[in-house]
Structure 1
Amino acid sequence: MSQVEPRIKAIYETDEFRMRSFNATWLPDSSGYLKLETTDGESGPEIAHYDAASGKRSVVVAREKLLVPDTNQRLRIHRFVCSPTVKRFLLHTDEVGGSDRWLYEVESGDLFPVKAGDGVGFEANAFSPDGERLLGSRGADLLVYDIASSQVTPLTQDSDSDAINNGSASWSPDGKWIAYVQSDSSAVPKRAVLVPGDPTYRTFQETRFGRIGGPIPTLRIGVVGVNGGPTRWIELADEAGTFYLNSLSWAGRSDEVVIDKLSRGRDAREVMLANHRTDAITKAYAATDPAWVVSWVDMEPGGLEWIRGSKTFVIFSERDGWRRAYVVSRDGASQTPITAAGSDLIAPGQIDEKNGWYYYYASPTNATQRYLYRSRLDGTGTPKRLTPPDQPGSHKYVFSPDSRWAFHTWSTFDQPPVTDLVELPEHRSVRMLEDNAAAAARIKPLIVRPTEFLQLDIGDGVVMDAWMIKPREFDPAKKYPVFVFVYGEPADQTVLDDWRGGQGFSLFHRAVADLGYLVVSIDNRGTPGPKGAAWRRSVYGSLGPLSTDEQAAGLKTLARLCPFVDLSRVGIWGWSGGGSNTLNALFRKPDTYHVGIAVVPKPQAQYYNAEYQEIFMRTPKENPEGYRTGSAINYAEGLRGDLLIITGSGETNTHIEITEGLVDRLIELGKRFDYFVYPNRDHGLSEGKGTTLHVQMLIARYLIEHLPPGPR
């Protein structure tokens, strides 16, 4: 531990390797961008303007202009929202003079507080199209704040904030209407959560939790005038509590909203156009799939976007076995693919309607990487990769509105992120915006051996991506213990060639590897890689069995390829779904895995949340066998190795009671294991000073004590 402890402290305590990100806001005319920044020697930030072409800097909201009227106090800006006209800024600041939201007028330099009352919040889309009003919320209710008069107009008045929430609100194009989604959770049962406080007389807070097979929130769509009055509810034919909404937006005009509706199991999707004036509803698009049409809202690459004067829209579909973008007519009669057949779109980039281009992310030949491509919006021609061929790895672009410029961030597993301004489509680098040079210099001595990316062919046409980190003093003539990092579920990949590679644990894994381990991660089928719909849907019915089999098969294939892999010494660890797969590995493959560290697992799948698990397994009533085979608790008798289970008593995701059911089962079976609970910590185990460091030190210590490092 003495060798690894300073490294882990440098990562999680002193933050010596923290990377800086570049954040700026493009101006609507694409001529430049706005950035909140503090110059050297100054005490607070100001908002600067940079010309895109020349890089010339000017100050839009100067530090000296942030003095609160009639005081000597200066506002400290945390973030800002620019009005569509760029004549006004909403500043989020420290609380001064009774307000933490202020408005700044660019032309006059006037600064005045937002007098909307206590508890009011404003989102990124707060400004009305003309910049004269703000859309906000107080608790569960929506409101409009008139800037000139400081008048607050309530739009909704639902007093039961425990059950009712009005959200996903947006301005109509003409600024006269607000569309929103009302969620009613009154039928969703509550569960008690311990509130930290007096150790003798404990108190509890009840929160609602939509469990698999139980009630979920009921949703309805409303449109209300900005001057208040009754909401116009859009009547859907579906039974309440049987669907989710992927998105709600305006259909390019102010009398019609777009409703992107998903069935509870996500096996059906409908896009409907609803006229809030006439109550007419028409169907623009529909799709079904035996498994799922849309996997999980947070994993989907995007909703839909209108083009051609709102006559057509762009949507994603996997109907031919690959995730592709289609241009669909308003009546749904025409559906034209615009991205390449036989490969997946990973995520949308931007639509350049003026010049007829669709920008998107893809990587047809390597699922571990991310590149920028563009295709013609009319579906003709051949897609072209714009990311230069000499920049392998993963790329992210923040486009200017006209698609001429982009903030481009590039990294690999071994190369920290850098951000430059590029001009498209040539991808000409204009200037560096953030090079992270200081942190990169500190990291460079730690990366003695490049991370190796491999492909593991386990037969039957299944080829899995993997990476391996070798020790600093690696000797290929000797055999090394293996420490596997696993996730293996549909929500994420661990085998990505970017700086976050391995869910952000890459520096920790390097520190562990240098002790004398081979640290390995494998993406089995069912993970969300761009390998086609069949790859992703292969786990439908039960999460756990397939990933366990394929992870073990991948490990054996790795040993055949790499004779220095010691299969008699194998450890495995993972977080959340990776914690569940760690349990599955030790319980179902005891001859393969000898030590496991399961962090916040879900060993009883039937008690997890409905929104995620039902996509992949439906409900226990519909699929009892899938839930039996998908729950690690049912295989606990197979434990022979050393197991550490880590969780938090404040879990709101994989509740501690789910884990303690497994603890009781292991006790009943007379199994030896270790169990560590962090008091009042949630799923990320990050609350409280020193917690993150303690968790990673605990993992390292348990590994060293139960699977000693070093070659043989």
Structure 2
Amino acid sequence: MNNPYLIRIAIVLAIIPFCNLMLSQDHNDLKLEDIYKNRVYTQERFGPVRWMKDSEGYSSLEINKETGAYDIVRYEAGTGNRSVLISSKQLIPEGSAEPLYIADYTWSEDNTRLLIFTNTRRVWRYHTRGDYWVLNLEDGKLQQLGKDVERTTMMFAKFSPDGSKVAYVSRKNIYVENLSSGKITRITNDGGDNIINGTFDWVYEEELDCRDGFRWSPDGEHIAYWQTDTQGTGIFYMINNIDSVYSVPIPLPYPKAGTTNSSVKIGVVPSKGGVTKWFGIPGDPRNNYLARMDFIPNSDEVMIQQLNRKQNTNTVWVGDINTMELTNILTDSDEAFLDIHDNIMWLDNDKYFTWTSERDGWLHLYKVSRDGVRMSLITKGDFDVINISCIDPASGYVYYIASPDKPIDRYLYRSRLDGRGEAERITPDNMPGQHSYQISADAKWAIHTYQNVVTPPRISLISLPGHNESRLLVSNKEAKERYDRLELEPKEFFRVDIGEAELDAWMIKPRDFDPSKKYPVIIFIYGEPAGATVQNNWGGGDLWHQYMAQQGYLILSIDPRGTRSPRGREWCKIIYRKIGIVAPRDH
């Protein structure tokens, strides 16, 4: 056995029986079958929830006991009154006995039509293709979309702004379907082989989180979309050896670091069909990324974010879809690298927009004029804005998640959009851990999820800004009781001073830990910029690590410098040109 990785596995497996001898038999031992097969410790689920247009209620999915399928119900935020918006019986197609399975759903802008995603299939890692149906709530008509295209090939369907049409991608082309007439128009015709319209190749999906590759114009007259040409990129062959006697190679355009990327451009085409016009964005299309694009509200203009291949300069363009002229309104740069953020909102009659940047050393939200000339700081303080929960121009506040004091926690704050005053913490002080919020558009209500390392997600409806709980939606009381009966060793959080910085860490000790004895140690490592392992959240109870601790191991995890922890620019960018160097040294 020459493979050192296999040798290490063999050593660990050999040690486990001896570690078991150290365990007391007087405890409730975890069993892998209960964790993964029997799912004894599964927690309650909730949703998905969609706030309704009036912000006075929300919709959710609930099982209909008669049909065994989902109803879509509405709850009034103020009173808790429940009504069935759509019974699963309304979702039984003609000639079928079973209701449609709702994998996801979207309301039209006026909430009179429902778009249902069903019969889904995986693309790369997510289920982004399948079939779509539309239910008209006014007349009860249920219609299947895309009858002219192959089943389960439809992707990213979405209503036009007025709800009269739906656009979608199938087999690398974009289609528009009129809901009244059923007429389907293919508005791109060159998709196939190396040309991809309306979605992306692997690089954009993996590195830039791009999947849905087209946008409706505000008036519904045009569609702007990305087109990808993979010709010239290297081919990586995956092997399919599971569904036939002989294996079959699957060619996959897959540019590796430093090799030729796909060529990507952005065009605009009439939604009724016609000729595509292309923006002449400066720079080599194979060495720049068109990372984001969307229409500016109430206009014939798109905002395009162009990221260079080194990913240290983000050039923001405004493009006129009539003249196809481009104007550079903002350029953001960093000596190391930049991240793309999805929290742009237009303010003050579309004269300003919000922008996220680390230019002052912390990740903050700014207010920028439409021409890019004026920029003012909205969120102030020595902390990172982790994510934006809601921007409410009417009240003049932005609500966001931050944790100025403990990077392992998450709390709700708000700041004035005019930049005045200090950040205001909304989450109560007596709830240590991590909090997330799904906030109504008027920022008066929120679905609040609270958890920490010993508390499974507790979901409630609260009113804002007072954070007053109106109703408990999910307690997860049974999951908590099952967990407590296990009498597991606590996950202990602490910090390690390495001189250059203090690192957050946690540890789970073996049962009946004796500090005078030596124990084998397992260190759970990630240590790169996409995530952090030291988090004060539930994480399913971290039962795998608890199981290994019961086998006699001491389990340890450390967040080295460079992990996605809200500790400022210098912390995150320390790994620039040092991937795989800083993390091992810190450990």
TM-score (norm 1): 0.72
Match of 1:342 among 357, 382, 401: 382
The structural deviation recorded for 1:363 is 0.3
Establish whether residue 439 from structure 1 lines up as the match of residue 475 from structure 2: no
- State how 1:491-640 maps to structure 2 within 5 Å: 491-500=530-539, 506-551=542-587
Distance 1:71 1:141, change over 3 A: closer
The structural deviation recorded for 1:73 is 4.8
Partner of 2:229: 184
Partner of 1:13: 37
Establish whether residue 53 from structure 1 lines up as the match of residue 74 from structure 2: no
Partner of 1:91: 116
- State how 1:212-291 maps to structure 2 within 5 Å: 212-291=257-336
Distance 1:484 1:128 in 2: 50
The structural deviation recorded for 1:408 is 0.9
Maintained 8 Å contact 2:191/2:197: no
Q: Secondary structure at the match of 1:145?
A: strand
Maintained 8 Å contact 1:222/1:234: yes
Distance 1:388 1:210, change over 3 A: same
Distance 1:472 1:171, change over 3 A: same
1:119 partner letter: E
Identity %: 35
Distance 1:112 1:201 in 2: 41
Distance 1:239 1:105, change over 3 A: same
Match of 2:446 among 406, 428, 435: 406
The structural deviation recorded for 1:464 is 0.4
Partner of 2:139: 108
Match of 1:154 among 181, 186, 198: 186
Partner of 1:417: 457
Q: Secondary structure at the match of 1:442?
A: helix
Partner of 2:216: 171
Structure 2: which 5+ runs fail to align? 1-15, 24-28, 121-129, 200-212
The structural deviation recorded for 1:51 is 0.9
Distance 1:164 1:231, change over 3 A: same
Distance 2:499 2:117 in 1: 56
Partner of 1:466: 505
Establish whether residue 376 from structure 1 lines up as the match of residue 376 from structure 2: no
Distance 1:124 1:208 in 2: 22
Q: Secondary structure at the match of 2:450?
A: strand
2:237 partner letter: A
Partner of 2:68: 43
The structural deviation recorded for 1:58 is 0.7
Establish whether residue 210 from structure 1 lines up as the match of residue 255 from structure 2: yes
Maintained 8 Å contact 1:197/1:203: no
1:166 partner letter: G
Distance 2:93 2:258 in 1: 54
Distance 2:185 2:528 in 1: 45
1:150 partner letter: G
Partner of 1:586: none
Distance 1:229 1:136 in 2: 17
The structural deviation recorded for 1:253 is 2.7
2:550 partner letter: D
Distance 2:577 2:228 in 1: 29
- State how 1:101-140 maps to structure 2 within 5 Å: 101-119=132-150, 126-140=158-172
Distance 1:197 1:428 in 2: 54
Q: Secondary structure at the match of 1:480?
A: coil
Distance 2:491 2:30 in 1: 22
Mean Cα displacement is larger for which, 118-127 or 526-535? 118-127
Distance 1:474 1:376, change over 3 A: same
Deviations 1:68-126 (A, max 9, x none): 3466554443332211111111233459xxx9533222122232333532336566660
Distance 2:535 2:456 in 1: 14
Distance 2:371 2:493 in 1: 46
Maintained 8 Å contact 2:489/2:511: yes
2:485 partner letter: P
Q: Secondary structure at the match of 2:303?
A: strand
Distance 2:138 2:373 in 1: 49
Maintained 8 Å contact 1:125/1:170: no
The structural deviation recorded for 1:198 is 7.6
The structural deviation recorded for 1:156 is 0.8
Deviations 1:584-610 (A, max 9, x none): xxxxxxxxxxxxxxxxxxxxxxxxxxx
Distance 1:447 1:250, change over 3 A: farther
Maintained 8 Å contact 2:389/2:401: yes
Maintained 8 Å contact 1:191/1:206: yes
Mean Cα displacement is larger for which, 537-546 or 76-85? 76-85
Maintained 8 Å contact 2:225/2:266: yes
The structural deviation recorded for 1:199 is 7.5
Q: Secondary structure at the match of 2:577?
A: coil
Distance 1:34 1:203, change over 3 A: same
Distance 1:74 1:377, change over 3 A: closer
TM-score (norm 2): 0.87
Structure 1: which 5+ runs fail to align? 552-712
Distance 1:198 1:182, change over 3 A: closer
Distance 2:386 2:521 in 1: 31
Distance 1:379 1:176, change over 3 A: same
The structural deviation recorded for 1:341 is 2.9
Distance 1:56 1:472 in 2: 48
Distance 1:199 1:351 in 2: 53
2:175 partner letter: L
Q: Secondary structure at the match of 1:495?
A: coil
Maintained 8 Å contact 1:314/1:325: yes
Distance 2:287 2:436 in 1: 36
Of Structure 1 and Structure 2, the greater helix share is in 1
Establish whether residue 82 from structure 1 lines up as the match of residue 103 from structure 2: no
Distance 2:184 2:404 in 1: 52
Establish whether residue 484 from structure 1 lines up as the match of residue 493 from structure 2: no
Distance 2:478 2:148 in 1: 44
Maintained 8 Å contact 1:185/1:216: yes
Maintained 8 Å contact 1:116/1:151: no
The structural deviation recorded for 1:469 is 1.1
1:83 partner letter: S
Distance 1:349 1:487, change over 3 A: same
Maintained 8 Å contact 1:398/1:407: yes
Distance 2:350 2:514 in 1: 63
Distance 2:379 2:517 in 1: 48
Distance 1:458 1:310, change over 3 A: same
Deviations 1:315-353 (A, max 9, x none): 111111111111011111111011123211111111000
2:512 partner letter: E
Distance 1:225 1:426, change over 3 A: same
Distance 1:346 1:486 in 2: 22
